[in-house]
Chain A
Amino acid sequence: MSDIPLFKVTIDNISIEVPAGTTVLNAARMIGGEVAPPAMCYYSKLEGSGGKCRTCLVEVSKGSEKDPRPMPKLVASCRTTVMDGMEVKNITSAKVVDARASIVEFLLLNHPLDCPICDQAGECHLQDLSYEHGKEGTRYEFQRRTFKKHDLGKYIQLHMTRCILCYRCVFTADQLTKKRAHGILDRGDHSEIATFIEKNLDSDFIGNVIDVCPVGALTDKTFRFKNRVWFLKPMDAHRDCPTCSGKVTLWNRGDEVFRVTARKDQWGEVEDWICNDCRFEKKKTSDWVIEGPRLIDRHSVIAQGHYAGTVGMHKPTETFSAVHHGRQPKLLMDIHSVSEVNQADIDLSIIAGPAHSNNFNSNKD
């Protein structure tokens, strides 16, 4: 590494030395915190990603030591490499803040207000982005675009209306599965992610497009509508998988595995790709070795009601009978004898797709 010169770059008045060829975005991520611009399309693990969404725009107030002129326009930080002595403004620049609010408005132009139905809600980057950088209202008064429904097999659910055309899934399919079967059709407002050779979608790693999708356009059909992510208990777990690393996050309700995803780092990017078998087929706690609760950023809604550390890993010892000389507490009502929710004979986690009325009605007396 010694032959790569180090460049000094200042982002929001914080200086850092990074190897030449680093992008401004990655340099900012090395500093961390609020300095790092949000990114909707760039994905460090996907080659060629970035440059599509423009949420990572920054102002370059000094080009470099040799040519100190500022860049005339805001630049996409995921596609701009650093220069020695470069000075960058992200949140300290009013221009950037304003531009970002406009970008959010553009991204939301055609995005439906689907959050109450969408399975991505709670871990959606677009939701976070609009919450943090967007404006409240919309000025769009026209019909939002709609699409013919495409069926992407029994594992993956596509909601094209929610897609922001970040191309991450296309890169994932291209680079991970070696035989891309879906791509972007048409242009401009009509572009859509579609299968043109549907049978190729059952590649072993295609499930990862669910994790890379920043919005709810690609979601897990085996988890569809089963619960909201913030009611589930995320836990790190692993298994001996012949195809992938087997390191995953389980999303449990009680002992039922509702969903399996890859582990995501602080930028929302997966740590290890996982295979379809781990993601869609291993829906029993006994399939996994559980390591402990997954640490969730405390600003996330998923963190509500969750504790860090080993809390929840062990059943607490019952003290009642110990202090009452062995007498058991008197239960005035067992909620499960009355409640219709979470019945023992309806195992939502192992139903293949979303539950339907027949799943519930068949068990009615």
Chain B
Amino acid sequence: MEALTTRAKEVSRKPMSFAESLYIPNILKGMFITFGHMFKKQPTIRYPEQKREFSPVFRGLHVLNRDEQGRERCTACGLCAVACPAEAITMEAAERLEGEENLYREEKYAARYEINMLRCIFCGLCEEACPKDAIYLSETFAPANYSRKGFIYSKEDLVIPNPLTDPEGYAKAKGAPRAINN
């Protein structure tokens, strides 16, 4: 039969010699290799104390953005939901009442907005579709959870902290400003 690869080695079925059957030299050889790795550069990092730098195009957990005056930008236009290949986004719209102008930017807003993170594939198409700059994929992972219920993100989980009342939370959710090389 023709060999599938040139690197194939035939298994030797010879009975072991006395020196081999002692094992100790081979064990020492193995331990020496392990010991030698202590002086090499570590490829791993100590997560979560240490974190890797995100790539500028990292697509993590979604945030629903607010404008400079702290009003929600999303107007429930449904374009993110129609663009979503995983059908992860659902919403229900409502009309802004008088007196709610400081909460919502437009006449119509999303009263309910939900992303099912079990379905989401973090492709970022929702971000691309949004005409209102309302949805962004941030630099955060979706945290692990013991139950499936924890992956249904409602508006409370998604809307970014108000930049006027909670500027720190807002800056944190927005992520560090990054240099985009282009």
Contact = CB atoms under 8 A, between A and B. Distances in A.
Interface string A156-198: 0000000000000000000000000000000000000000000
Contacts of B131: 115-116
Interface residues of A, number: 31
Interface string B107-122: 1100110101000000
B92 A117 contact: no
A360 B82 CA distance: 23
A231 B94 contact: no
A116 B93 contact: no
A9 to B, nearest CB: 41
Interface size grouping (class) on chain B: 20 to 34
Given A116-B75, A225-B76, A341-B90, A357 B149 contact: no
Contacts of B97: 356-358
B90 A339 contact: yes
Contacts of B154: 340
A333 interface: yes
A239 interface: no
Contacts of B108: 117, 225, 354
Contacts, number: 80
Interface in B57-107: 75-79, 81-82, 90-95, 97, 100, 106-107
Given A121-B77, A339-B152, A226 B93 contact: yes
Nearest to A117: B108
Given A116-B79, A117-B75, A360-B111, A355 B93 contact: yes
20 contacts: A115-B131, A117-B75, A117-B106, A121-B77, A225-B76, A225-B93, A225-B94, A225-B95, A225-B108, A226-B93, A231-B82, A304-B82, A333-B147, A333-B148, A335-B116, A337-B149, A338-B152, A341-B112, A348-B92, A360-B111
State the 7 A-B residue pairs at the shortest beta-carbon distance, nearest first. A116-B77, A354-B95, A228-B78, A333-B148, A341-B90, A355-B94, A225-B93
Interface of B: 75-79, 81-82, 90-95, 97, 100, 106-108, 111-112, 114, 116, 131-132, 147-149, 152, 154
